[in-house]
Amino acid sequence: MSLLKKPSLAGLMRQSPFKPIQAHMRTVFSCICLMPPLFDALYRKDLEQVRDFAAQIDQLESEADRIKNTFRLSMPKSLFLPVDREDLLGLMADQDHIADTVEEIGQILCYRDMEVPEAIKEVLDELLEGTMEISSEAKAIIEQLDELLEVGFGGLEVEKVSGMITGLRRNEHNIDSIMHRVRRTLFVAEKDLDPVSAMFWYKLIDRLGSISDQAENMADRLLLFLSK
């Protein structure tokens, strides 16, 4: 048995109210990192591995929920910070939506035996790669919150984070373009699919695309932090 213990959320709160948000985002990102192997198992038609990766995502999403709920209960009513309590709660909610979406993707792939249409594999890989990239950018921005706090949300650190947010929003626009192509490719391939399978693929693609939308929501909320 390991003698190492996870730091309590109360302990993290004493250090900085951003520490639990960062811990939560790391757990959310761990969920996201399971999507490439999840889809790789789907490509290989290894349903046992698909279910195993989906179960791991479920566990991580539950851990993210635990952090979120404890954060809500532990957070003081007033904070001597340039950030409102409700803004911090909203940021964690944005992050939590991402974990919920990844969990839903895993559940869909467990509930229904999905076969990947050959026509969409290339652009689907492109969408997965873009999703991983923008999620990594969102995590990197969250990791900068302590540095922003140390400088009072001013100076060169604000310029650095603003640049990171600009890059994230640019990538979200690129993912919108990929989403258009994958939907169009799926539309052309519909004739080779049964209607129910086509419907579920549209649903999966929408869920994948919504992750980048949620990452942009996080970026927009952080811009509000910087403008106050």
Convert the chain into a string of H (helix), E (strand) and C (coil).
CCCCCCCCHHHHHHHCCHHHHHHHHHHHHHHHHCHHHHHHHHHCCCHHHHHHHHHHHHHHHHHHHHHHHHHHHHCCCCCCCCCCHHHHHHHHHHHHHHHHHHHHHHHHHHHCCCCCCHHHHHHHHHHHHHHHHHHHHHHHHHCCHHHHHHCCCCCHHHHHHHHHHHHHHHHHHHHHHHHHHHHHHHHHHHHHCCHHHHHHHHHHHHHHHHHHHHHHHHHHHHHHHHHC
pLDDT, residue 46, reads 95
Domain borders along the chain are 13-227
Whole-number Å distance between alpha carbons of 58 and 106? 8
pTM: 0.87
Residue whose C-alpha is closest to residue 42's, from 31, 51, 33: 51
**Which pLDDT does position 15 carry in this prediction?**
58
Residue 12 has pLDDT above 50, yes or no: no
pLDDT at 4: 41
Q: What is the pLDDT of residue 129?
A: 96
Report pLDDT digits (tens) over 96-144: 999 999 999 999 999 888 889 999 999 999 999 999 999 999 999 999 8
Question: What's residue 215's pLDDT?
Answer: 95
Residue 151 has a pLDDT of 57
Distance from the Cα of residue 66 to its chain's centroid: 16
pLDDT for res 217: 92
Confidence of residue 76 (pLDDT cuts 50, 70, 90): low
| Contact indicator for 219, 163 with CB cutoff of 8 Å | no
Q: What percent of the chain has pLDDT over 90?
A: 64
**Inter-CA distances, 180 with 198, 202, 205, 206, Å:** 16, 12, 10, 11
Q: Give the pLDDT band of residue 41 (cuts 50, 70, 90).
A: very high
Percent of the chain, pLDDT > 70?
Answer: 85
The set of residues, in sequence order, having a beta carbon less than 8 Å from that of 103 and lying 6+ positions away, is 31, 57, 58, 61
Distances (CA, A) of 223 to 26, 58, 60, 128, 169: 21, 31, 28, 26, 11
Average pLDDT over the chain, rounded to whole? 87
Q: 203 near 183, Cβ under 8 Å?
A: no
* 190, pLDDT greater than 80: yes
pLDDT of residue 85: 77
Query: Which of 6-10, 195-199, 202-206 has the lowest average pLDDT?
Result: 6-10
Architecture of domain 13-227: Up-down Bundle (1.20)
Lowest mean pLDDT among 73-82, 90-99, 108-117, 206-215: 73-82
Structure token pair of residue 145? 């919150």
Does 1 score more than 70 pLDDT?
A: no
pLDDT at 2 over 50: no
